[in-house]
Amino acid sequence: MQPFNKYYPPDWTPDKGSVNTFVGKHPLGDRARKIDQGILVVRFELPYNIWCTGCDQHIGKGVRYNAEKKKIGNYYSTPILQFRMKCHLCSGWIEIHTDPKNAKYLVISGAKQKMEEWEPEDSEAIKLQDDPEIKEKLESDPMYKLEHGIKDKKVWDDAVPVLTQLQRLNDSQWEDPYSQSQQLRRRFRQEKKLEKAVEDETNRLRDKHSLHIPLVPIDPQDDIKAKLIDYSGK
């Protein structure tokens, strides 16, 4: 909204330069209150979890602060920046520098980085091959490379979440819905014919013996046990 609500003093005219210069104010406003010291206030987000040494409290990755940003040096042509901010829990100062050489941030004072060690398997990541002997065999032995590729593919397939595997299986099975529908209808017709045949046979037995009770399905084990019974009385 600033461009639409910009204030023009009544004694200002365009020939006197910009409005900011006329009223003695920096274009960036209060963020540039220490610009004469090379400091600019910016919104800084913590790149990792830290422990504040002032209050010994944990501060999570992604917490944002109004930090004083200042250039303190160069790594070749890349500037090294300093960020100073106050802990929101104890008001102690925390200082973090950029490290262009290693592409990371360094905690200089006021806090310490939380050390988090983990194995690739814990995050379901595939461990990269860094054994020089295996690398040499992969480059020189085609059969070993083929076998190794098959093992890598199995590891990759096992690493895929179960829900994704089920979705892929469903997509492959229903790639041709018409054929699948044909098979299902054929199976339903066969099951229906079988059920109709069993029902007709049950009704025939009930009519033959004048039974008025429901008959359970025939069990082959009952037939075998009945034939083993000896009714001769000997």
Which of 56-60, 151-155, 198-202, 221-225 comes out lowest in average pLDDT? Answer: 151-155
Q: Select from 122, 36, 52 the least CA-distant residue to 85.
A: 52
Is the model's pLDDT at 63 over the cut of 90?
yes
How far is 92 from 142, CA to CA, in rounded Å?
A: 61
Report yes or no: 203 and 213 within 8 Å, Cβ to Cβ: no
Residue-wise pLDDT for 2-55, tens only, equals: 556 677 888 888 888 888 778 778 878 888 888 889 999 999 999 999 999 999
Q: What angle do CA 114, 116, 117 make, to 5 degrees?
A: 150
Q: What sign does the CA torsion over 97, 98, 99, 104 have?
A: positive
pLDDT of residue 120: 58
Q: Please say if the pLDDT value at position 208 is more than 60.
A: yes
Which range is most confident: 82-91, 144-153, 218-227? 82-91
pLDDT digits (tens, 9 = 90+) for 80-103: 999 999 999 998 999 999 999 999
Q: How far apart, in whole angstroms, are the C-alpha atoms of residue 120 and residue 37? A: 45
Q: How confident is the model at residue 1 (pLDDT cuts 50, 70, 90)?
A: very low
**pLDDT-above-70 percentage for the chain:** 91
Q: What pTM value is reported for the model?
A: 0.47
Sketch the domain layout of the chain as residue ranges. 34-113, 122-159
48 and 114 Cβ atoms separated by less than 8 Å:
yes
Tell me what pLDDT residue 233 has.
63
Contact criterion met (CB below 8 Å) for 78 and 100: yes
The full DSSP string for 125-146 is PPPPP--HHHHHHHHH-HHHHH
